[in-house]
Structure 1
């Protein structure tokens, strides 16, 4: 693996390797788009960790952030095209996990 590839993969690992990233991505894929609703939907996540995950997922290009000029301000997140691709991959991994567990018994 070239140094550039290694560095890009390390960034991906940093972004999606956190136990909360997959939960946040899945929640947004299910239509939960506002930070407060995400915090309620993802059991056990703190405000600080959620903010960090949203920032990292957005900077990596998996989420799009829309801020509305309202009082109070409203922020919504959505999956980018790459975010949608990653969620499909995560769904495939979940199916593989179910299949593996089924064959173990």
Structure 2
């Protein structure tokens, strides 16, 4: 089992929030579930750019954090859907705020990415 060499400092609210929703794909997974795409196979179809193994890993993490829970239906074949816990629901306004900020600033960020020169530690004048 992997043991961290440097302990995580989770006494800071921002560190906790970033642990839960940080990373490349967790917000997208949560948005899928928010929109009703709740079955793992449907999430995989929605997020074709991401390996199913990665999606499953993030779903498991979100479940371990208590953000999602897995509902297993007694059907044949078995049907599984992910749903938000109350604490997970409380994250949805945070994600909406982040999406709004991203939409308002995406051109600015893209422009800076396009003009950044590695090794100079500064942006080119516009």
Q: TM-score range by the shorter chain?
A: 0.7 to 0.9
Q: How many residues align?
A: 102
- How far apart are residue 5 of structure 1 and its match? 1.0
After TM superposition, list the pairs within 5 Å mapping 1:9-88 onto structure 2: 10=15, 12-88=17-93
TM-score normalised by the chain length of structure 1 = 0.80
- How far apart are residue 63 of structure 1 and its match? 0.6
Residue in 1 that maps onto 2:98 = 93
Query: Which has the larger Rg?
Result: 2
- How far apart are residue 84 of structure 1 and its match? 1.7
Unaligned runs of 5+ in 1: none
TM-score normalised by the chain length of structure 2 = 0.68
Q: What is the CA–CA distance in structure 2 between the aligned matches of 1:103 and 1:68, rounded to whole Å?
A: 46
SS, match of residue 26 in structure 1: helix
Q: Which has the higher contact order (CA 8 A, sep 6+)?
A: 1
CA distance 1:11–1:56, change in 2 (3 Å): farther
Structure 1 residues 53-62 or 11-20, which shifts more? 11-20
Q: What is the CA–CA distance in structure 1 between the aligned matches of 2:40 and 2:57, rounded to whole Å?
A: 11
Q: RMSD across aligned C-alpha pairs, in angstroms?
A: 2.5
CA distance 1:36–1:16, change in 2 (3 Å): same
Q: What is the CA–CA distance in structure 2 between the aligned matches of 1:4 and 1:11, rounded to whole Å?
A: 6
